[in-house]
Amino acid sequence: MEGQPHQPNGGEYQRQPERPGANSYGTNDPERQAEIKQARTDAAEERRRDRARLERLVELGMTPDDAEALIEFDHYVSDHLRPQALEAREPFSTAAEIEAALTYLPRIEVVDTASHERGIRHGLWIEADQEPDELEADIRAMLDSSPTPEATAWAIHATEGFAGLDLRGYTDTRLIAQLAKGVAEHGAAYAAWVGIVGTDNHDLLERFTDFHVGSYDSAEAWAREAASDLEWPQQLDNALDPMLRRFVVIDYTRFARDARQSWDVVQGVDSRTHVFMR
């Protein structure tokens, strides 16, 4: 077919030569391309972690909207508040202390039950790591503003920042404040402690530091530290011939498994292993 004036080469597509610098990175600088590639990888990993955390929070009873809001807030803390917090105080000794201090911000949503029974949503989100009388004052203020006359009864409708603890049904403000302060200070390790001892004994809840041995990346990591504290490797070095010593190893996995008969070893919502004396 004869080509039309506005279609060179009879209308066949002509591939244009690639322009210098025309790529998905927007630059031909290898170092800059490597930086952009790493940033894309980091962003994809962050999205994956956010999705996993969202699913976990929803499993724990949080609404998807509240879970997304909490994740966004944590990003804000990480981007804007965490550097200031780290500059303002003495350096943390462990990564777990950073996690506990900056991630767990316990809050409760208290609702007016009389209004709730009438199909009216009336409540208030309250920072829970306060003194009991301060919690009671916030709750009274919520009840005083209730659309239901003379409302006096209240209940916890939702929680966040409690490292997996479920406080729905609790009305003891002393206990609520104690749990919130424990989680705010010690993070998921304290929630693990509550899971072991329950909530009936206030004095025992206060003795977290008396029983907490430590928090570790795995049970085996704890076993290795315990064996080192007991100087087992050095004892083997002293007791065995050097040629034999290199063939003798400690079974840390078995040690961690057998030690559960004498120690409380719990995996927290932070996926770390928390160890307590009995």
For the chain (278 residues), the mean pLDDT of every run of 10, in chain order, is: 44 48 66 76 80 74 72 62 44 48 79 90 92 94 90 91 89 95 93 94 93 91 87 87 87 87 89 91
Question: Rounded to the nearest 10 degrees, how much is the dihedral formed by the CA atoms of 145, 148, 150, 154?
Answer: -80
What pLDDT is stored for residue 35 in this prediction?
A: 77
In the three-class reduction of DSSP (H, G, I as helix; E, B as strand; rest coil), residue 107 is classed as strand
Q: What are the Cα distances from residue 244, in Å, to 123, 237, 238, 241, 248? A: 69, 10, 12, 5, 7
What pLDDT is stored for residue 81 in this prediction?
A: 44
From the centroid of its chain, how far is CA 86?
18
What pLDDT is stored for residue 87 in this prediction?
A: 45
Q: Which residues of 88-114 are buried (b: 16+ CB within 10 A; e: fewer)?
A: eeeeeeeebebbbbbbbbbbbbbbbbb
